[in-house]
Amino acid sequence: MKILVLNAGSSSQKSCLYDIKSLDNIIFPPSPLWEATIDWTVSSNYGLLKVEANDNKITLELPMSYRQMGINTMLNTLKEGETKVINDFSDISVVGHRVVHGGNKFSQAILITEEVKQTIRDLISLAPNHNPAHLEGIESIEKINKDIPQVAVFDTAFHRTIPDYGKIYPIPYEYYEKGIQRYGFHGISHEYVAQRTAEILNPTLDSLKLITCHLGNGCSITAVKDGVSVNTSMGFTPLEGVMMGTRSGSIDPAIVTYLMREYGYDGAKIDKILNKESGLWGISEISGDLRTVLEEMEKGDIKAKLAVEIYINRIQEVICSMLPSLGGLDGLVFTAGVGENSAFIREKICEKLGFLGLKLDTEKNNQFCRDKDIATDDSAVRILVVHTQEDWSIAKQCFGILH
């Protein structure tokens, strides 16, 4: 069964094609037949498409003006040129989509219907950086071949286990009854890395107390106890929690009413400020890409340095806030683009957390890290870098729905 996965982030589109005959006896995720990524942050003028298949790699610049055209260009590399792996799109059995926000309507993967699409569309106001990108992917597939089944896999599903006292906000209860609650996001990633951490450390997952840090352009931190999510930093929308690439994370809610009262801003203006003009971008005034901000910090840019310091401090604060939900800590796990690739950020985050009993092995940390324990031998808390495999997790759920 050929399963295409489209994983749209706030600033990227990651895709891959798996050929799965059975899930029996599969311990490690298999390599996909084809992989592609579109990064919309590398330039203000274009997006960068990278495709790898058949031991070949290609790179193309895509116009920023029409993102859906970029998706179509990416998909065409499946059946054209040196990265060709199928003869026709009809060779694809199912397409799986990561969907960030499903509200309180969906708690598990589901075949996409017009009703499901409408729900994703209705929730754009709660996930403005993501849900439009999911619809772009779904509609691109429909235009190519409307007969291919499509499946939505929701980022919110893993966090359904958060207890009421953790998911209900201290505002009038009637708003909880209307659907305002902590949903949590990046659940596909948090669930996968928690499972992979248990495999690396060898105990069973249901005996571990973990804090998993998904640090990319979007960032979230989750407390995983006995294999289930018991707390997470993102909330009603992906805006809550730690500072991110262009998102503010948690702020005093009175700032919003102050901006409305003093500057006459409406909801759309405030949404734009908090979701697209804040975070690393807002403080550094250089970029929402941490790599660029770190480069400028090294050159002596004061605002870039401040942005990095706030970013690290906010992450440390949220990590500590997760401890009461766990009653202890066995492992601190880093994943996603920043978490997996920035030794500097990992080191700085761990630097002030020694009181938890964790000790980072700087030599291990500075090496290539993938699915590795980078704590010292005498550390009371293990520190891991785990390569998130959201795409594989999505593919498995698609396989399960069609079987």
- Per-residue model confidence (pLDDT) at position 262: 97
Q: 46-53 and 372-373: which strand pairing?
A: unpaired
H or E element that contains 281: helix 279-284
- Per-residue model confidence (pLDDT) at position 55: 93
Locate 163 and state its tokens: 């207890």
List % helix, strand, coil for the chain (3-state, nearest 5): 40, 20, 40
Mark residue 225 as left, alpha or beta (left: phi above 0; alpha: psi -120 to 50; beta: remaining).
beta
Specify whether 155 is catalytic. Answer: yes
Q: Which CATH number among 3.40.50.720, 3.40.50.12780, 3.90.105.10, 3.30.420.40 corresponds to the domain 203-385?
A: 3.30.420.40
HSE-CB at 237 with a 13 A cutoff on CA atoms is 17
Q: 209-215 and 331-335: which strand pairing?
A: parallel
- Per-residue model confidence (pLDDT) at position 64: 76
Mark residue 221 as left, alpha or beta (left: phi above 0; alpha: psi -120 to 50; beta: remaining).
beta
**Which has the closest alpha carbon to 238: 165, 169, 186?**
186
- Per-residue model confidence (pLDDT) at position 129: 72
Q: How far is CA 231 from CA 192, 205, 244, 319, in A?
A: 16, 17, 19, 11
The CATH code that applies to domain 2-154 is: 3.30.420.40
**Which has the closest alpha carbon to 231: 303, 192, 182, 281?**
182
Instruction: Identify any residues that bridge with 154 across adjacent strands, giving them in sequence order.
Output: 99
In three-state form (DSSP H/G/I as H, E/B as E, the rest C), the secondary structure along 122-180 is HCCCCCCCCHHHHHHHHHHHHHHCCCCCEEEEECCHHHHHCCHHHHCCCCCHHHHHCCC
Q: One of 39, 155, 289, 391 is an active-site residue; which one? A: 155
**Which has the closest alpha carbon to 149: 111, 116, 120?**
111
Q: 94-99 and 2-8: which strand pairing?
A: parallel
332 CA to centre of own chain: 17
- Distance CA(255)–CA(276), nearest Å, equals 17
Q: pLDDT truncated to tens, each residue of the chain (403 aa)?
A: 999 999 886 677 889 999 998 888 777 788 999 999 998 877 778 889 999 999 999 999 888 776 668 888 999 999 999 999 999 999 999 999 999 888 777 878 999 999 999 999 998 888 777 888 889 889 989 999 999 999 999 999 899 999 999 999 999 999 999 989 999 999 999 999 999 999 999 888 888 999 999 999 999 999 999 999 999 999 999 899 999 999 999 999 999 999 999 999 999 999 999 999 999 999 999 999 999 999 999 999 999 999 999 999 999 999 999 999 999 999 999 999 999 999 999 999 999 999 999 999 999 999 998 999 999 999 999 999 999 999 999 999 999 998 7
For the chain, the domains span 2-154, 203-385
- Per-residue model confidence (pLDDT) at position 10: 63
38 CA to centre of own chain: 15
2-154 and 203-385 share one CATH topology?
A: yes
Residue-wise burial string across 268-298, b where 16 or more C-beta atoms lie within 10 A, e elsewhere: eebeebbbbebbbbbbbebbbbbebbbebbe
Distant-in-sequence, close-in-space partners of 174: CB < 8 Å, separation ≥ 6: none
